[in-house]
Structure 1
Amino acid sequence: MLVSLQPRAEKVPHRDLAPLAAIARELRYLPRTEFRAALKSDLQRRTTMPMNERTESTATAPAKAVHYMRPGFTSITPYIIVNGASQFIEFLKNAFAGTERLRVPLPDGKLMHAEVAIGNGVIETAEANEQIPSSPTDIHLYVDDADATFDRALQAGATAIYRPTSDHPSGDRWGALRDRFGNRWYIATPKRWSLDSSGALPSVQPYLHVRGAHKMIPFMEAAFGAEAMGVHKSPEGIVMHATMRIGNATLEIDEAHGEYQPKPCHLHIFVPDADAMYAQALRAGATSVEPPNDKPYGDRSAGVRDPFGNTWYLNTCLGNRGERLQRTTTGL
């Protein structure tokens, strides 16, 4: 019997799995065994999934326009309440090349509501008051050039926490800074995934540091139908990082530690049925902030607070609300 001595041809991973395979090869030599184990599990899960499910479940799938969502929005938008909303908007413009979409002033000149687009995402903001105090938020911001964005943010008045580095376990080039309004920004350029105008990777992702992150994951699944895209735990079971998907957008969570402590924040999510999602969230353990009601600007809206102190606004867009919003706030 003749035995071929030629080496077997190496199997080429499917193009959808090639980026993950590349990460896995590089992680072989890193000391974080729990991270490698989690990644290996994620790879195995994806290889056994049907191709249509594999495509739909990836966080890099292009965002799709849906009828219940306002144009230009994704399913998850951070709503940052600050002291000095007008100055905050200028910071977003100067630091992150933000584009102001909407500004609704009150009679005293303070801002009732404003929207600033950054990349393929949006940040909403409003002036803090006695009823709703400021709520600093942590944001993971994906950009084309982390170093240039970082320097521009410093020039706009932010303070460096650490400069962008390529040593981050994710493989991304990653830095962190803090603005004068108390928000922390994780600035990253993705090395494994493309960032383009189709929404392949959400530019704006809220990052929640939670006490009891292992409980936050099942709560989000039960309350909002969220999907855990990847959960990485320490050997002791502590959630080191998790990406949670709702609709066509994601947010990130981990266990609060060191200086990274909980910051109860406001999150705006668009859902197909605000009434049904409100009832579902209450059954999952949330408390009511505002029952479902029709807003004069054209949304069906409700509010709940999760067991971790974060407030979620559940909205279903019922139609074009731009002109109605202006008329509502100006009295025209």
Structure 2
Amino acid sequence: MDSIAIYGLGRIGRQLLRSAVRNDLFVPKVVCDIAPAGTLAALLEVDTNYGRWPGVTSDEGSISVDGRRITYLNSRESLPQWGELGVDLVVDCSGRAVTREVARLHLENGAKRVLVSGPSATADDCDAVLLPGINLDDFDAEAHKIISMASCTTNALAAVVKVLLESTGIRHGVFSTVHAYTNTQSLTDQPMKSRRDSWAGAENIIPSSSGAAKALGFIWPDLKITGKAYRVPVRTGSIVELNAVPEREISTESLRDLFRSAATAGPLKGILDTFEDEWTSARVVGDPHSSIVDLPLTQSFNGLISVAAWYDNEAGFSMRLAETAVRLAS
């Protein structure tokens, strides 16, 4: 896989690079950002959340990881000419390609396809929302040029929703995600665009909106689910809880067995996992699964079902992003 580029080396872009290289999925042909290569190499070498990555070096025009040299381009002034660079697939981790207007610029500059590491603003802002284990087999090479991977929370929820839809059905449901703080929040109290975000992210529980319900609706248009998020003072590691009314009642143990089975066989193997014991968020830091169902917290009661699923909001999502990039590039 020598025709993939990573555009944007923020939190997700850097973890995507780590996941791709260290799991022998691909080495990008080009990486881009607006920061100096030396600064980015230092952030790759020592990561607060994931520790050391020995052997990362850089010069003015490249970043080398594990002895593999990757061309680095500073994209502050202009978007690279992907066609001239031999890049077929751009994984946009800039956070700005969630609209078609921005995403299609990569196509206009010679890329054959764009994979967006975030939820598209509307269904019309991408050609498809494709998630591994969920609907990636629906990929159409001719029709799908701009593909959205939605969000980490969407991927965590989608695995749970898929299992339930195929077994008990879902009449309607409400989810809440307790999510690690992110770079969109402030370190100290200061006025922000969102009033609640005006308070220090590392010192407060901050209610927030979640686009996961909308993204799930792009995949399952008839799904009746809504939800919200709470940002909490942890650096990574999140949990989402879905409370739903099923179409067919199920016992607690049978409900738990559904997820045990899905984790060991079928399209969600390697994407969904389960916890039999009682854990906290520290247990999922660095875990490559998209969704880890906490079985002790999962239950059926009086016609309701409640499913809790952990996820490393950086590492798990980045692993799926890397796997999807390989699929699209091939």
The structure richer in strand per residue is 1
- TM-score when normalising by structure 1: 0.28
The structure richer in helix per residue is 2
When Rg is computed on C-alpha atoms for both structures, the one with the higher figure is 1
